[in-house]
Structure 1
Amino acid sequence: AAHPHCALMLSESRVVTSLYSLITEKQEDDEIVLQILFAFYQLLQVEAPRVSLLQQTQLVVYLLDLLLDKSAAIRRMADRCLDVVIETDDSWAAQIRQRKFEMHNKEWLEAVDEDEAEEYQDAVALNNAMSNLDMQQGDEYDDEYGEGEYDADAAGVRLRQPLDASQLDDE
């Protein structure tokens, strides 16, 4: 498959689709998966088999999943295959880069999401505490001075005596 003429002949046969079927069937056998990934890497170097693989299979999705494999060798080979796809196929490039970024920065992205959730929860808790404090202070004032009205100019501040409309004219 490393030779362009051989890769072209392979792409015209059923070997490429057979390899794809085989890798999904034998996904538990790391050595077989690794060897098939190497074959895919070689086939992706040549346009005809690359087009066939990308259009007739879900190879990119499978390769992205393999980036999370327990075997470091499989992760590296899947990454190399994806790099070839990025270099040669613009339609897949952005999606692959995005997924690689998310996988590489997974812990950081999760921490940011947690921080944002915590900040929201803190803001809600602070808002609830302030509301409760305002209610308690109002109740304490009512207990001490009797019920009064709120002064619109000093929001949240109770007047000692209810407002009288005549007092407003004097100001």
Structure 2
Amino acid sequence: MAVQVSYPGVYIEEFAPGAPIQGVGTSTAAFIGIAARGLLKDPVKITSWDTFRTLYGEQPVPGFYLWFAVRGFFENGGQVCYIVRASNGAYGSLTIKTRTGAKNLFIVSAREPGALAIKVAVDDQHLLDKAKTSVYRPTGKLTKAASAAAKQIVMSAADAALFRPGDVITIAA
């Protein structure tokens, strides 16, 4: 409402205030920067300086300040923060193929971003390209009836030779 001013003095104008401002937590920080190691591009919740050093490196990366900023946060009483490791690197990977090169067997990926630092060699002599599986199910004849309390079954030598240690045996009537 407009106030008409007709003489000098103090004028009071009333107004209807808006909704009160809601309080939000300001104790959780987020840091984005370069670190020696750790997950790329995913925010990770950190609750201690020791956890940060374990996940992102014991020493700072020369020329970058993430390590120092997080240390200062925890030294000044900070308790919870999120870290996002930034990098232009990518995870190196290598596809292992069969000896003929016709089929992919598996993919080897680096734990840390960057080119694979070591040479990887895989010998596929024991890899089965076209493995065949068969069910081994021998049968035998019971030659001596066992009582209900007996724990031993007697079979002929020829039938017993069909079984291997560790076979599961089911006795059916």
Greater relative contact order (Cα < 8 A, sep 6+): 2
Which TM bucket (shorter chain)? under 0.3
Q: Normalising by structure 1, what TM-score?
A: 0.22
Structure with a larger share of its residues in strand: 2
Q: Normalising by structure 2, what TM-score?
A: 0.22
Structure with a larger share of its residues in helix: 1
